[in-house]
Amino acid sequence: MNELLKKSAAEQSKALKNKEISAVELTNAAFERIEEVDGKLGAFNSLTKDIALETAKKVDEKIARGEELPLLAGVPLALKDNMNLKGSKTTASSKILENFVSPFNATISDKLLNNLVPIVGKANLDEFAMGSSNENSAFKKVHNPWDLNKVPGGSSGGSAASVAACEATLALGSDTGGSIRLPASFCGIVGMKPTYGRVSRYGLIAFASSLDQIGPFARTVEDAANLLEVISGHDPKDSTSLNLPVEHYAAHLNDDIKGMKVGVIKELMTDALSEDVQKAVQKAIEDYKKLGCEIVEISLPNLKHSIGIYYILATAECSSNLARFDGVKYGYRTPDAKNLLEMYTKTRAEGFGPEVKRRIMLGTYALSSGYYDAYYKKAQQMRALVTQDFIEAFKKADILISPTCPNTAFELGAKASDPLAMYLTDIATISANLAGIPGLSVPAGFDRDGMPIGLQILAPQLQESRLFNAAHKFERANDYYLKLAKI
C-alpha cells in the first residue's frame, strides 16, 4: 500500500501543498488500493474514476498556478450510495434502483466538487440505509477490515470500511438511528452525526426525513471536523436546513477542557455491556478525569423507550418515503404485469429486500386508521419526552458519554434471523436522532480479539465545536487512532 494512504487528510493536504505528491497520483493510489482489497471487502458498489481524476487534475492545476487550495482539496473520498452524484449510479444498494443513473447532484456532492474533493466511488450500504450490519445490501455484504468474518456495522458499512481499509481517506454516511456512529465504532474510526438541519439532505435518498442526517467519517477527529465544515451550510432546496453561518470546527480542537462536566449516561452503563466495552468506557472516564474534567452521573429515564419510539416513527416515515418507488417514473419495473395494480405490487415485491418490506409494513400499520393514535401519535409524544431528558441532562453536563454499542463487531450472519437482536444494537445511538443533537464515535480501545471499541460523545444542539474539542482531547490522550486494520 502507498504509505501516503495511511496518513490523515490533514497530512495528505500538506503533502499536496508541498508538492511531495500530485493529486492525480494520490487519487490513482486510492484506486490501486481499492483494486487490491475491495474484492474481499465489498465496500464499493461502483467507482467514479473519471469524476475523481478530473477533480484531481483541477487540484494539480491550481497548485501549479500557486493558488490557494480549498479545504480538503485532492483528498480521496467515498460517497455513500444513497447520495446523488450526477452521471453515477445511485442505487441505495437496492434492486429497485440497480440501474438508476443520477441526473443531478446532491447539495453535498456540489459542495465536495466545489472544494475539489475527488469522489472515488459509491459506497455499499444496507438497502435504503435500513440495517445495523450491512448484510442487507441487494448486491453483496460488506466485511469488516479488522476481521473479514465480521460485520462492519450499518447502515453506512461501506463508507466506514473504505476509510478503515485506507481505500479512501474520508467518507460520507447518513445517520438515521446510528448508521454513522455504529460502523465507525465497529471499524475503529471517527464517525459523526451533526445536529439535525446542519447539513442539507437535498439529493439524499430519504429513509426517515425527520431523523436522517449526513455526516463525516475519518481516521482523526480533525479530519472529521474539516469535512463537516465543507458539507455544512444553509440550503434553500432543503426546508429543514438551518440558516446559520458555517463554523470553522477545527479551530477549537485544542481548547482546554479542564473543568468541563462530562456526564456518564447511567442507563447505558449496564450489565448488558460486554466486559471489554465496559473496561474501555471506564478507562475513558479515567482519561477525562486526567484531562481535568468533572465526571457526573446522568439519567435519561425515557431512553429505554427509544428503540420502540424509533421503530414506529422511522418505519412510518419510510413507508411514506418509499411509496415513490413504484416502477412508473424511474427504477426497476416488473416485466410481466397484466395491469397497473399488478405492475405496482410485483415491482415492489421483486424490487425491495426483506428488511425494507418489513419496515414498510410496520410503518403502514402504525399509520393506518384505528392505530394512528395508539402508535404514531404516542411515539411522537414520547419523542418529545426523550428530547426533554437531554435538555435537562445538558443543564448538569457539557457533554455526555456512553459506549457507542454494547458490543464489538459480531460474526456475519449471527443476528440475521433475529430482527429484534439486530435492532437492539442501536440502543445507545437512536436517542440522539430522536432529539436532533450531534453525536460522535471515537476509537476507545480494542477487545480481547483485537476488534475496535467506540466511545460515543453527545453534545447539545449546534454544539459541534464542543463535541469535536472533547473528542480530539480524548483521541490525543491515547494512540488508538494510529492503529490500522490489517487487511
- The residues carrying an active-site annotation are 80, 155, 179
* Residue 99 to residue 411: CA distance in whole angstroms: 31
Categorise residue 207: left if φ over 0, alpha if ψ from -120 to 50, beta otherwise.
Answer: alpha
The CA distance from 460 to 464, in Å, is: 8
CA pair distance 90, 103, nearest whole angstrom:
10
For the chain, how many residues are written? 487
Strand bridging mode 294-298 / 399-403: unpaired
Domains of the chain are 3-255+464-482 (3.90.1300.10)
Residue 240: Cβ within 10 Å count: 15
Give me the pLDDT at residue 420, please.
83
What confidence score (pLDDT) does residue 272 get? 87
Q: Tens place of pLDDT for every residue, the chain, 487 residues?
A: 789 999 999 999 999 999 999 999 999 999 999 999 999 999 999 999 999 999 999 999 999 999 999 999 999 999 999 999 999 999 999 999 999 999 999 999 999 999 999 999 999 999 999 999 999 999 999 999 999 999 999 999 999 999 999 999 999 999 999 999 999 999 999 999 999 999 999 999 999 999 999 999 999 999 999 999 999 999 999 999 999 999 999 999 999 999 999 999 999 998 889 999 999 999 999 999 999 999 999 999 999 999 999 999 999 999 999 999 999 999 999 998 999 999 999 999 999 999 999 999 999 999 998 899 999 999 999 999 999 999 999 999 999 999 999 999 999 999 988 888 888 899 999 999 999 999 999 999 999 999 999 999 999 999 999 999 999 999 999 999 999 998 8
What does the alpha-carbon distance between residue 9 and residue 401 come to, in Å, rounded to a whole number? Answer: 26
Number of DSSP helices (H) and strands (E) in the chain, helices first: 15, 11
C-alpha dihedral (251, 177, 137, 41), degrees to nearest 10: 40
- Give the per-residue pLDDT at 458: 98
464: cell is: 459541534
Classify burial at 270, counting beta carbons within 10 Å of its beta carbon; exposed 0-12, middle 13-18, buried 19 or more: exposed
pLDDT of 417: 85
The pLDDT value given to residue 271: 87
Q: Which residues of 355-370 are buried (b: 16+ CB within 10 A; e: fewer)?
A: bbeebbebbbebbeee
| C-alpha dihedral, 197 to 81 to 333 to 132, nearest 10° | -80
pTM: 0.97
